[in-house]
Chains A and B, each alone.
Chain A
Amino acid sequence: MSSKRPKSKEASKIKGKGHPDYIFPLVLTSATQELFGCQADEDVTGENPYKLLKKEDIIKDMKTRASVSDFSPVKQLVLDYPEDELLLVFDRDFTYGQSFYLVLTVEAKENILKLRYKISPLQRRCGAPVCFSDRSAQDGKEGFVECPSYQDKSFSIREMEKHTAIQASSDTKNSSTQTLWKHPKNIWTQYEPREFSLEEKEHHLRSKNLKNFITSVLIRFEISLQQNYITDVFCDDWTALCEDEGALTGKTETQLKEYQSFMDLHFSKEKTISHVHWHPTISGVIAVAMTERLSLEERIDNSTKLLLNPSYILFWNFTDPINPQLQLECPDDVLCFQFCPSDPNIIAGGCMNGQIVLWDISAHVERLQDTRSGGKNISNKLDKNETPVVRYCAVSGIENGHKAPITDIQWLPETFELGSSGEYSPLKFSLRDNTVDCPSGDKPLQNAEREEGCGFAQLRVPSAKQQKPMENISTKLYVGTEDGELVYTDWKMEKDNDSGRLLKVEFLECFLSGTKPIHRFLVHDTLVNTVTRSPFFKDIILTVGSFSFAIWKEGVTNGPILMSAFSRTMRTVGHWSLSRPAVFFIGKEDGSIEIWDLLQNTHEPSQSQNISSAAITCIRTSCISSKQHLLAVSDRLGTLHILQIPWTLRRSSNSEELVMPLKQEEELEAEALKEYEQFLALEKDILKNMGLLNETEDSSDM
């Protein structure tokens, strides 16, 4: 350790004064040394002579000891000293003459102190051996230096613009208005189409434009109109081929099906049914006249027995096949009967002895109707097993009545006054045995009234005046006779008879003797058993004889328009179908029914069906409902068969009604043609016989 002394001028000055300017030698007493901690050889030594003293302490010491203080000679210098600490150096060697000296300038102090500190670290480090080793970067926290990124605020950019998507949606807005409410009032307009006046029309008609237009389009029109006239292009031939819609349903039943049969065990033993009639208003009720099945000789033989065994008309109802509903007592066998058209409770019948009988069943109508619905009510009133018997309410007298059995009876639809003598003749057409089946040729009027038979006047009493005969009604009728004749005549006679009676029992006598019938045709061999008019055509009549039948047209005078072939078995009865204009039924003696369809075949029946073993005596049809048509067939054994007419026979096709008249025309034409040919043949024969063969001469002669 060597403390270098600054080599400068100051060193030279030391000699002059003995010390440089910045150094002031001091003598410090031991008290001061103790105070300031710079005791010689204790705090400061030769090796460490420096001691920093605080300026404030020195000033304080100077203030406390004033002139006694050791620092008093440097008082001013201390006060001027810029810094806080002064350096005091222990001068051992008494360099400056004293034991201590004070360094007065800062720069000198620094020089002295500085030099000391600089040297020492260098000395230690120099020349020491160094050893190098490897060390990984992750060995310690000090192995590496990280420079993470950081947000440098000096480089941040503020976003001034930003793209954003915006959807605009409409707000709801409520608004309201107030309208003026005016009271409602009716408004109407009347208008008419615009029309041209006559001059305008003529002006147009004269214009050339119109002429050109019409001539130019004319061809088109003509072609189209002609096309339409030639053929109908929109007509579907395939569908029009089929006549009726229902034919394709495939109903194959063509036979008459047995629906019910009535046979009364009490009353119809040994009896036969002579006449059958459906009740006109109550459906399901049928009336049957039972007669004895005996020939004339047998009747005469058993006449006493017959008197005890009265004959009846039985009423049957479908709901009760065993017991008849009603019984009408007859004085004798009833061969024919009819319901009154205007009052179905009145029944008129013609008996075998020539009497005409009337019954009134109004008291029992309820019973007939009740049984139709169920029949529970009757059991209260009557015992079910007992059929009520109704006696006839009127009967014609035997003396004045007919002399022969009445075979047919018909109601007349109008009233006639007759008889000035107070005697009323029955207005029913009752004819004797030699005439059969007389349909009234009158046009039907609405309310038919009935006159009372003589003897009983309980029913409507006509007035006594004479009425004028009605002019414009056709009063012609067809009458079939026992000999097979069909007579066509007029029953409305002039009052040339003796008593002025228009209708009389003896009518037929004078009819056959006096008045000339309009036409008489002998077609059938034996008695004509049926003369009926077709329900569809007012002028078509069917007559059935024993072996053949014929169809006539009123007004055609030379014969029937259709005549059937002779059949092997006797034909007993005929009846037109109610629903099909070209169909009728023929009953035969062997118990079979022939169904003739004129549109299919005119020479043979379209169907033949056996119903019973005995001869058919009567056929009647009835329509219960649109789906059910029934055929009532009675036979000689007394059984009444009710048959159901199958669909094919019920359902008429559309064209049948139209075709029938055409058929008739055909027949008529055929007839006319045949006649003409016959005439020609006849002519030729005559000429041949006369020897003339020249035809031109013949025609002039004829």
Chain B
Amino acid sequence: MFCSSLLFCSCYSVQAEVEDTLKRIQGINGVIGTIVVNAEGIPIKTTLDNSTTVQYAGLLHQLTMKARSTVRDIDPQNDLTFLRIRSKKHEIMVSTDKEYLLIVIQNPTE
């Protein structure tokens, strides 16, 4: 019982930490939305509505894979760390590792 509750606490604290961090990002000035996506492009956590999330996740996942393969084609020892897409209205930032993708959309001009 004790062990399980301890385990639960640790898991909970991890989850809380994650959520805190995401809230922190979301709270920065100008951020419109934050999405956490798994390696296949399925959203895990989001602050936007479902259809927008799914659209962003699918499109950006493919783009990130492409960008990463580009970087690695040029130099196999290199890897993609950060992808920033600046459009007229927004800036989309994507960071990725082996398992997850974090997408942040910001409106840079006030």
Contacts and interface: CB of A to CB of B under 8 A. Distances in A.
Same complex origin of A and B: yes
Interface of A: 193-196, 201-202, 204-211, 213-218, 220-222, 224-226, 228-229, 232, 234-235
A215 B40 CA distance: 21
Contacts of B12: 206
Given A193-B54, A207-B14, A221-B93, 18 more contacts: A193-B42, A193-B58, A194-B41, A205-B14, A210-B18, A210-B44, A210-B100, A214-B36, A218-B21, A220-B95, A221-B25, A222-B25, A224-B82, A225-B30, A225-B93, A228-B108, A229-B28, A229-B29
B19 A195 contact: no
Contacts of A194: 40-42
A516 B31 CA distance: 55
Contacts of B18: 205, 210-211, 214
B35 interface: no
Given A205-B19, A214-B21, A225 B104 contact: yes
Nearest to B12: A206
A206 B44 contact: no
Please name the 5 residue pairs, one residue from A and one from B, whose CB atoms are nearest each other, closest first. A228-B108, A217-B95, A193-B54, A206-B11, A225-B28
B69 interface: no
Nearest to B109: A232
Contacts of A232: 108-109
Contacts of A196: 38, 42-44
A217 B40 CA distance: 19
B102 A217 contact: yes
Contact of A205 (B15, B58, B99, B108): B15
A372 B19 CA distance: 74
Contacts of B106: 225, 228
B77 interface: no
A201 B45 contact: yes
A215 B25 CA distance: 11
A226 B28 contact: yes
B86 interface: yes
Contacts of B82: 217, 220, 224
A214 B14 contact: no
A209 B102 CA distance: 13
A206 B58 contact: no
B91 interface: yes
A137 to B, nearest CB: 89
Contacts of B31: 225
Interface string B1-36: 000000000011011011101101100111100001
B108 A208 contact: no
B73 interface: no
A213 B99 contact: yes
Nearest to A225: B28
B72 interface: no
A87 to B, nearest CB: 123
27 contacts: A193-B42, A193-B57, A193-B58, A196-B42, A201-B44, A201-B45, A204-B44, A205-B44, A206-B12, A209-B99, A209-B100, A210-B18, A211-B17, A214-B36, A214-B102, A216-B97, A217-B82, A217-B95, A217-B102, A218-B24, A220-B81, A220-B82, A220-B93, A222-B28, A225-B30, A228-B30, A228-B106
Interface string B64-95: 00000000000000000110101000010101
Nearest to B29: A229
Contact of A218 (B25, B29, B30, B109): B25
A664 B41 CA distance: 53
Contacts of A201: 44-45
B44 to A, nearest CB: 5
A54 to B, nearest CB: 120
